Amino acid sequence: MSEVETVGPARREGRGRDAGGKARRERRSSGGGIHQLPFKTLRNPFKPVEILSADQIEAIHEASLDLLETVGLEVLHGETLDIFERAGAKVDRSTLRIRPDRGLILEAVAKAPAEFSLRARNPERDLVIGGDHLVFDATGGPAFVSDLDRGRRAGNEADMKDYIRLVHMLNVLHQEGGTGVEPTDLPAETRHLDVYESILTLTDKSWHCWGIGAFRVRDAIEMACIAYPTTREELMERPAVITIINSNSPMKFDGPMGEGLCELARNGQATVVTPFTLCGAMSPVTLAGALAQQNAEALFMAALTQLVRPGAPVVYGGFTSNVDMRSGAPAFGTPEYTRAAFASGQLARRCKLPYRSSNVNASNTVDVQAAYESSMSLWGTILGGVNLLAHAAGWLEGGLTASYEKLILDCEMLQLMRETLMPIPTDKASLGLDAIAEVGPGGHFFGVGHTLERFETAFYRPMLSDWRNFETWTDAGAVDGTRRANAIWKELLRQYQEPAMDPAIREELAAYVARRKKEIESGKY
Amino acid sequence: MSEVETVGPARREGRGRDAGGKARRERRSSGGGIHQLPFKTLRNPFKPVEILSADQIEAIHEASLDLLETVGLEVLHGETLDIFERAGAKVDRSTLRIRPDRGLILEAVAKAPAEFSLRARNPERDLVIGGDHLVFDATGGPAFVSDLDRGRRAGNEADMKDYIRLVHMLNVLHQEGGTGVEPTDLPAETRHLDVYESILTLTDKSWHCWGIGAFRVRDAIEMACIAYPTTREELMERPAVITIINSNSPMKFDGPMGEGLCELARNGQATVVTPFTLCGAMSPVTLAGALAQQNAEALFMAALTQLVRPGAPVVYGGFTSNVDMRSGAPAFGTPEYTRAAFASGQLARRCKLPYRSSNVNASNTVDVQAAYESSMSLWGTILGGVNLLAHAAGWLEGGLTASYEKLILDCEMLQLMRETLMPIPTDKASLGLDAIAEVGPGGHFFGVGHTLERFETAFYRPMLSDWRNFETWTDAGAVDGTRRANAIWKELLRQYQEPAMDPAIREELAAYVARRKKEIESGKY
């Protein structure tokens, strides 16, 4: 038993002082006091966890190439069939099956850049994907949205916009994730235009477009050219458009995704090629089998980008998790997910590709499960050497729902991870032996110069955590973390200011959207 | 945007089936259905995270030895002063200051074993501390106890016993942690006897005694000899008694802890020597300074164990965290804590000592903050190569409170961590290429032989997580993780059965306690 640890002098001193609590209450009540870290691009100093030996990496890698040569992919996209046929792959037109040999795949993949830059509308928010760079990308895709006040509801335009505003406000997020809330109240064929217009006007961060169908990619490219502003030629040199391209696991690649991939690659824009390999459902029940299949599908898509345009930026996506074998429901943030995240990083680096993974969980509400499953995901991916962390904030319920409170919770966890990557300086002043001598045995460090010179910035200051003592916290209403998150996103929305944009550009964007809506409504995609 | 990921076929298939949900409900309602992993000792396969370079480790290590030589420790324990004086250290009797030179410290520390065994009453639960072994030790020390039904209250005998029963029931816990709930309703001078009697009868796992005062250690040793049963000579060869010994940071070592340490070491029992270095309070505001001071105090205490008895088992304890500089309150599970946990492991291994750290948090309630701060602690310590994870389950509110729901939450998180340490087999059957060929493009793996042969045991099955879909979960009352934890600990208490003990031993223990209470009440410690 450790009595000193729990009732020692620091605890007495610490718990007895509540000047900070008072200051924090004042800061909160003043309305402007959400404390965040500033926007900053990140590099990961840690050597990735190696769960696979070198031999095991090779075994999975070679198995994936065997899979491509023997099973191959069924491809429902004519252009992809043509491209692989021209490259010399075995293509069976009657079964739509492409069985590329390993030489073709590896030669193509070798042309992809190990890292690349991605422009944002605000040049200060340009990103690098690959190497030891680490990018936090907000959630993309959920059909539902939820918060404590209004509950769970279908995605809609108003929430889609508020969500983008929050992604803009949350400094730890580097990138909008491709529609945190799907606006299901807008027409399906043209809603991507409304989303792009919202993204490009409500935030100046990097963003994800939609990858389903060539026309949605073309619209993204056109609107990026208007908004940044830039030309298509410049965009080709310095990409700004990115999205996730999924295979239809197992071993299938569909038409709309094929169109999206080819259109992006042709224009020198970035694809994040991601199989969706849930062990026991769309992939073998074994992690090694799912990883082999993931690697096969990812390398197939990565090779395709390079056959379309050598040097086109492409990111290796890992999304291997498992299902609950008693219900068939997807499970996320499991030990299987974490181990697959470590292994996927090793496989991506084996092929010198940037690595994408995700912050996932399967909880139905913003509770302890949501937090610990997300933590499992964050540590698995970040210690696994992820470069692009998709769905990094806001994902709930296996990705069906974008949650406002989860967005805040995740950003707190991302801030914690970000600060964990910071080095420990060990210069003479940091070692502080003089301060220890000055304080002497049994003293305390609150008042010494060494502390006073540094205390304002010495430690991470949280956005969501409440460190007041139990009595003060209870007197203030015993508000738990999820309810505090609720107050924080509302305050951030109150503080939100739209980033400046030239009115002429704003008009041009609106005109583009209006014109394209008419065209699409008349069948011109 | 990734539509396949969120509304793809697996999701539809997964969410559409709820046979497992039904089975789970039946299991829960049958009353016997808390699913846990079995008891198992663990080894950590991962190379520890290196946040410090080799040069930085040396800089901190050398600074700590400088501190011992220049500042030294103030020691309020006569025997420790005598021991160091006999060993040739500079001892100033007027200021009670010991300033041992580096040679003396390092020579002594080098005699400590790099790993050692620790007996449990049940030999199947014997443990190894050190090397790549990983031991999860329940919370020790809190003065308060809390649960959702009864709120927060002073520690008491009834809760002390229930807490031990739960620690016994929770398979992922290897060790009782030294009184999860302090029985403040029992007399202070004799309550250790009641606690030891409860531990030794209510669980057969390894346990922590109290380290404050030689008499409490002697009573632990005597009662272990009765309960196991064993002799003092056998116990000397095969230790069973362990506890945490804290220095009174900064640079001070008090009498009762000195007595406890010397008594343990003299009898060949294990000490976990742990400074309590909160940056900005009892140690410099800089991590490097706190780590140098931690290392100085830990090596001083470790050396003392070896001066008392060369080869006595001793564990290097790291407890460096920071205070909230605005309130002075201790903060836990912070990025500073996590980075210090990485660094402390490097410092412990530098001296070839087993490494102890803790699963800590500062939340006032079992909410998302409790979960993410604990996750930061778990990942920092386990990836930092911890051998003995103290306070691994149940700690809340900076250690002031032992929480029943937090105990369950932590055990779920420990199970997740334990499964994350499992290897990924990559043999031919695990790679499963035949299964992928059998399923073919676009199929699913639910029904294939490769899946059916493995699905029962393929994946981690959680105790606390709820993976039912939103509608089913909502219909069942939308119970969040903390409230599910509440139901789980109650069910475990209902299922609890006391481990068998020879009635003669049981009587002898009771007689020992009765006799010692009388002695202590009459002033004979």
Q: Using one digit for the tens of pLDDT, what is the confidence trace for B452-464?
A: 999 889 999 999 9
Q: Is B485 on the interface with A (CB under 8 A)?
A: yes
Band (pLDDT 50/70/90 cuts) for residue B326 is: confident
Q: Which positions in chain B touch A98 (Cβ < 8 Å)?
A: none
Instruction: Write the burial class of residue B502 (CB in 10 Å: 0-12 exposed, 13-18 middle, 19+ buried).
Output: exposed
Q: For residue A374, give the nearest of A402, A413, A404 by alpha carbon.
A: A413
Let me know: does B247 contact B286? Beta carbons within 8 Å.
no
- Strand (E) or helix (H) holding B356: strand B355-358
Size of interface A-B (CB pairs under 8 A): 586
* Chain A, nearest residue to B1 by Cα: A178
Q: Is B39 on the interface with A (CB under 8 A)?
A: no
Where do the DSSP E strands lie in A87-201? 90-92, 97-99, 115-118, 127-130, 133-136, 144-147, 151-154
Tokens 């009732």 identify what position? A7
Q: What whole-number distance in Å separates Cα of residue B410 and Cα of residue B249?
A: 28
**In 10 A of CB B452, how many CB atoms?**
12
Beta bridge partners of A253: A75
Where do the DSSP E strands lie in B55-156? 73-75, 90-92, 97-99, 115-118, 127-130, 133-136, 144-147, 151-154
Q: For residue B167, give the nearest of B197, B141, B206, B193 by alpha carbon.
A: B206
Q: For residue A362, give the nearest of A327, A412, A413, A389 by alpha carbon.
A: A327
**Six-digit token string for A340:** 């697959």
Q: What whole-number distance in Å separates Cα of residue B26 and Cα of residue B16?
A: 19
Q: What whole-number distance in Å separates Cα of residue A354 and Cα of residue A313?
A: 9
Q: Which positions in chain A touch B13 (Cβ < 8 Å)?
A: 281, 328
> Which residues, including other chains, have CB under 8 Å from residue B312's CB and lie 6 or more apart?
B112, B264, B265, B266, B268, B269, B270, B271, B305, B306
- The whole-number pLDDT of residue A21 equals 39
Q: What whole-number distance in Å separates Cα of residue A211 and Cα of residue A215?
A: 9
Residues 389-428 of A with CB under 8 A from B: 390, 397-401, 409, 412-413, 416-420, 422-427
Strand-pair category, A73-75 with A252-253: parallel
A370 to chain B, closest Cα gap in Å: 8
- Look at B430 and A287 and tell me if their CB atoms are within 8 Å: yes
Question: Letter for the amino acid at A521?
Answer: E
Region B171-197: what's the mean pLDDT? 97
Region B288-298: what's the mean pLDDT? 98
Let me know: does A323 contact A281? Beta carbons within 8 Å.
yes
- The whole-number pLDDT of residue A328 equals 85
Region B142-146: what's the mean pLDDT? 98
Q: To which CATH superfamily is domain A40-96+116-420+448-525 assigned?
A: Trimethylamine methyltransferase-like (3.20.20.480)
> Which residues, including other chains, have CB under 8 Å from residue B347's CB and lie 6 or more apart?
B57, B60, B61, B291, B294, B295, B316, B318
The CA-atom distances, in angstroms, between B441 and each of A255, A297, B142, B275 are 14, 11, 57, 59
DSSP A129: E
> Which residues, including other chains, have CB under 8 Å from residue A233's CB and lie 6 or more apart?
none
Count, residues in chain A:
525
**Six-digit token string for A60:** 């999975």
Q: What whole-number distance in Å separates Cα of residue A220 and Cα of residue A210?
A: 8
**Six-digit token string for B500:** 């068998």
Residues 53-72 of B with CB under 8 A from A: 56, 59-60, 63, 66-67, 70-72
> Which residues, including other chains, have CB under 8 Å from residue B81's CB and lie 6 or more apart?
B75, B91, B93, B96, B98
Band (pLDDT 50/70/90 cuts) for residue B327 is: confident
Q: Which positions in chain A touch B417 (Cβ < 8 Å)?
A: 335
Distance from the Cα of residue B295 to its chain's centroid = 20
- The whole-number pLDDT of residue A3 equals 35
Q: What whole-number distance in Å separates Cα of residue A442 and Cα of residue B282?
A: 8
Q: Is B77 on the interface with A (CB under 8 A)?
A: no
Q: Which positions in chain B touch A3 (Cβ < 8 Å)?
A: 141, 212, 246
Strand-pair category, B355-358 with B314-317: parallel
Helix, strand, coil percentages (3-state) for chain B, rounded to 5, are: 45, 15, 40
Residue B381 has pLDDT above 50, yes or no: yes
Q: Determine if the peptide bond prior to A229 is cis (ω within 30°).
A: yes
Residue B273 has pLDDT above 80, yes or no: yes
Q: What whole-number distance in Å separates Cα of residue B428 and Cα of residue A352?
A: 26
- Look at B450 and A13 and tell me if their CB atoms are within 8 Å: no
Q: For residue A67, give the nearest of B446, B441, B444 by alpha carbon.
A: B441
Residue among A1, A457, A470 with most chain B CBs within 10 A, to mutate = A1
Residue B7 has pLDDT above 60, yes or no: no
Q: What whole-number distance in Å separates Cα of residue B313 and Cα of residue A1?
A: 17
Q: What whole-number distance in Å separates Cα of residue B320 and Cα of residue B287?
A: 8
Instruction: Write the burial class of residue B193 (CB in 10 Å: 0-12 exposed, 13-18 middle, 19+ buried).
Output: buried
Let me know: does A51 contact B419? Beta carbons within 8 Å.
no
Q: Which residues of A271-296 are buried (b: 16+ CB within 10 A; e: fewer)?
A: bbbbbbbbbbbbbbbbbbbbbbbbbb
- The whole-number pLDDT of residue B328 equals 85
Q: Mean pLDDT, chain B, as a whole number?
A: 94
Q: Which positions in chain B touch A383 (Cβ < 8 Å)?
A: 49, 379, 383
Per-residue confidence of chain A (525 residues) as pLDDT tens digits? 333 343 333 332 223 333 333 333 333 333 358 999 999 999 999 999 999 999 999 999 999 999 999 999 999 999 999 999 999 999 999 999 999 999 999 999 999 999 999 999 999 999 999 999 999 999 999 999 999 999 999 999 999 999 999 999 999 999 999 999 999 999 999 999 999 999 999 999 999 999 999 999 999 999 999 999 999 999 999 999 999 999 999 999 999 999 999 999 999 999 999 999 999 999 999 999 999 999 999 999 999 999 999 999 999 999 999 999 888 889 999 999 999 999 999 999 999 999 999 999 999 999 999 999 999 999 999 999 999 999 999 999 999 999 999 999 999 999 999 999 999 999 999 999 999 999 999 999 998 999 999 988 999 999 999 999 999 999 999 999 999 999 999 999 999 999 999 999 999 999 999 999 999 999 999
Sign of the CA dihedral with A479 first, then A480, A484, and A487 last: negative
Residues 99-138 of B with CB under 8 A from A: none
Q: Which positions in chain B touch A330 (Cβ < 8 Å)?
A: 10-11, 14
* Chain B, nearest residue to A467 by Cα: B362
Angle, vertex CA B32, rays to CA B31 and CA B36, nearest 5: 130
Q: Is B271 on the interface with A (CB under 8 A)?
A: no
Q: Determine if the peptide bond prior to A239 is cis (ω within 30°).
A: no
Q: For residue A302, give the nearest of A350, A337, A235 by alpha carbon.
A: A350
DSSP A398: G
- Look at A440 and B71 and tell me if their CB atoms are within 8 Å: yes
- Strand (E) or helix (H) holding B410: helix B404-420
Region B168-186: what's the mean pLDDT? 97
Q: What whole-number distance in Å separates Cα of residue A243 and Cα of residue A260?
A: 9
Region B92-121: what's the mean pLDDT? 98
Angle, vertex CA A21, rays to CA B406 and CA B336, nearest 5: 60
The CA-atom distances, in angstroms, between B298 and each of A67, A366, B95, B398 are 55, 40, 21, 22
- Look at B327 and A17 and tell me if their CB atoms are within 8 Å: yes
Let me know: does A314 contact A270? Beta carbons within 8 Å.
yes
Query: Domain segments of chain B: what residues?
Result: 40-96+116-420+448-525
Residue B9 has pLDDT above 80, yes or no: no
The CA-atom distances, in angstroms, between A413 and each of A145, A217, A378, A389, B375 are 21, 32, 8, 13, 10
- The whole-number pLDDT of residue B32 equals 55
**Six-digit token string for A306:** 């390079």
- The whole-number pLDDT of residue B321 equals 97
Q: Determine if the peptide bond prior to A250 is cis (ω within 30°).
A: yes
- The whole-number pLDDT of residue A14 equals 29
- The whole-number pLDDT of residue A32 equals 55
